[in-house]
Amino acid sequence: MNVTVALRFDGTKNPATGDGIVCWVPPGRHEASPWRSGAAEELVLRDTRTTKSFRDAGERIVRQESATSSSISQLLRAPALSVRRVTTDAEAWDVRLAALATLAQYDGLTFVTLGSSSATAAYNLVDDPITEPTIRGAVERVVSAGVTVQLRAAVPLADGRVAGAVLVTPLAPNDAFAGAMVALRVGRPFAAVDTYTAVGITEIVSLELARSINASREATERRQALALYELARHALFTEDLDETLQGIAMVLATALDHDAAHVWLRRSDWSLRRHAAYPPDHVAPEIISEDDSVVFGALHERRLVRTSGAANTWAPSSTREVLVVPLRGEARPHGILVLARAVGPYRLDDIEMADVLGTFVGRVIASRPVTELERDGELAESRLSARG
């Protein structure tokens, strides 16, 4: 802002300081002002006042923050990132869900797919909330209808609090899975704007879940291919039948995440004898009858049977779930392949691979000369009848 003022120096001096006296002449009074001596000058003075600047205000705040003590300034800064090493997919999901829950202001977060009986991953939860019938019903309704549902349920959290508000949102449509995300809050309900936030969170979860499933499937396929290669190597370069079957059992147990693998071959007296076991099992019997219901279903119906390890005395010791696979031959199966796990159920891809292994091992046995089987005293009758 510019201001024009008239100043007059009348030639007189201040008796105290000896400086010349400058008088101010109001605007419009230049001609009417009496002049004794000197000359009038018009000077342009610039007002130094400026408009307010938010940038300057921000810089002042930063300077003030720097001058405060460390305990107070720490409250004004973002938390430092923690260095965390992630080695498994489950640990990666823990990091993802914790970050997403922080962004969306959830006190608990998990998601579930319809193909699984429990939540895949969870954040700040003690138990699986899907076991609650109300929440389980909401998940099924949300997946089928494609809408977001809010309900009230008491869900304990890992930090000791109890969540009362539950928001269930369907995951993004995908060919590989269908499911829903379950978000929880303590002491406050979900608002309408939280529905839009939940849709964005589920899109991120769906993308990460699809990527995780594809990576797991590729890793499983590579592992299965290497296992089949090792099985073929044992079948080609090992002459003794029992040694071949023992090598096959070892490969199946170590390469395909089975806790035990047994190979049983049929005898001429309608019984089966265990030819290979990995790891060695001295508790289970070595000879069983074909009349056992599980064995009968695998041999005579030529189908894979899924059973419990505790319900069968011939199953590998200390196992929870067992797959009984017929070793298929041209006329009838040569025996059974028993695969078992102590922890965790078998998935669909495990069952499909086990069925392939039954056919593969059956062909390995069928490729052995009849004379070798005759010396062993087993399977000769079945092999000769199959040729006739």
Q: What is the pLDDT of residues 121-152, one digit of tens each?
A: 899 999 888 889 999 999 999 999 999 999 99
- Report pLDDT digits (tens) over 297-313: 999 888 999 998 888 88
List the structure tokens of 308: 């419990």
How far apart are the C-alpha atoms of 103 and 220, rounded to whole Å?
Answer: 34
pLDDT band of 344, cuts 50, 70, 90 = confident
Given strand 305-308, what is the order of strands in its sheet?
A: 287-289, 271-278, 260-266, 335-341, 321-327, 305-308
pLDDT at 20: 53
Query: Fold identical between 89-215 and 238-387?
Result: yes
What's the CATH number of domain 89-215, 3.40.50.2300, 3.40.50.170, 3.90.1150.50, 3.30.450.40?
3.30.450.40
Tell me which residue of 91, 89, 138 sits closest to 112, measured CA to CA. Answer: 138
SS3 state of residue 316 = coil
**pLDDT surpasses 90 at 15:** no
- Report pLDDT digits (tens) over 195-238: 999 999 999 999 999 998 888 889 889 999 999 999 999 888 88
- At the topology level, CATH places domain 238-387 in Beta-Lactamase (3.30.450)
Whole-number percent of the chain with pLDDT over 90: 44
pTM of the model: 0.62
- Report pLDDT digits (tens) over 361-380: 999 888 876 544 444 444 44
How far apart are the C-alpha atoms of 89 and 44, rounded to whole Å?
Answer: 74
pLDDT at 9: 46
The domain segmentation of the chain, as residue ranges, is: 2-46, 89-215, 238-387
List the single range of 159-163, 187-191, 291-295, 330-334 with lowest mean pLDDT: 330-334
The residues pairing with 287 across neighbouring beta strands, listed in sequence order, are 273
